[in-house]
Amino acid sequence: MAYTTLFLDLDDTLYPSTNGLWHAIGARMDDYMRARLNLPEDKISTLRKHYFLEYGTTLRGLQIHYQVDTEDFLDYVHDLPIEQIVSPDPELYELLSSIPLPIFIFTNANRKHATRVLDSLRIMDCITDIIDVTTMNYISKPNTHAYYTSLRIAGESNPRACVYLDDSVRNLVPAHELGFFTILVGSQVQNPSVRLSINRPHELKIVMPDLWNNHR
């Protein structure tokens, strides 16, 4: 297959979930709901679960029900020492810089957070552009609109020419339905929407040699 475009999720895909960053962001979301919105302690986790299932993200739920200021929320939840949590990854840099295709970050986070993570990993030079929650007009993954936005930004009309890595099966499902080649990162799950499972993006070289050959 001739692939033209590579899409990469950010959090828990480009760095291992064991570093705790994603968990820390979740704790900041709880803090925000407690401190800024004065929501009762016993409601917070139920609401977050509900928003995640109903709207895709906590942010979208809070926008709809509490009219939160988006930038205020995103700045608050990402106010963490990312540079101390995410380490440089020269092996990942070498891998991504050798792929002869445009590489887009496709994330429900915002550009500011994505930039800090990519800078901490020292892989920013490998990235063509960042498709973030603002680019998606806050209709984020797994809403099908987000995937159409990603294709439009990448200038690729054929999803079958695209490879997409994410640590969330839920985010891979609509991508698979549209025709993307889907790769799950960080766990092994038997699911018809998952074409391949890998532990780390570093394994692409072994499992997807087509990314280096055959491109249009």
Rounded to an integer, what distance in angstroms lies between the CA atom of residue 155 and that of residue 102? Answer: 10
Ramachandran region of residue 68, left (φ > 0), alpha (ψ -120 to 50) or beta?
beta
Q: How far apart are CA 197 and CA 203, in angstroms?
A: 10
Q: Is 132 in the site for Mg ion (CB under 5 A)?
A: no
Residue 137: left (phi > 0), alpha (psi -120 to 50), or beta? Answer: left
Instruction: Give the residue, chosen from 9, 89, 132, 156, that forms a contact with Mg ion under the rule CB under 5 A.
Output: 9
Find tokens 């973030």 and name the residue. 132
Q: Stretches 41-49, 126-134, 164-172, 184-192: which one binds Mg ion (CB under 5 A)?
A: 164-172
Tell me the chain's radius of gyration from C-alpha atoms.
Answer: 17
Minimum distance of Mg ion from residue 67's CB (angstroms): 26
Q: Which of 5, 7, 12, 197 binds Mg ion (CB under 5 A)?
A: 12
Please identify, using beta-carbon distances, which residue of 4 and 19 lies nearer to Mg ion.
19
Both tokens assigned to 40: 């009762």
Binding range to Mg ion, per CB under 5 A, among 9-17, 115-123, 140-148, 198-206? 9-17
Q: In the bound complex, what is the minimum distance in angstroms from residue 122's beta carbon to Mg ion?
A: 20
Question: Which residues are near Mg ion by CB under 5 A?
Answer: 9, 11-12, 167
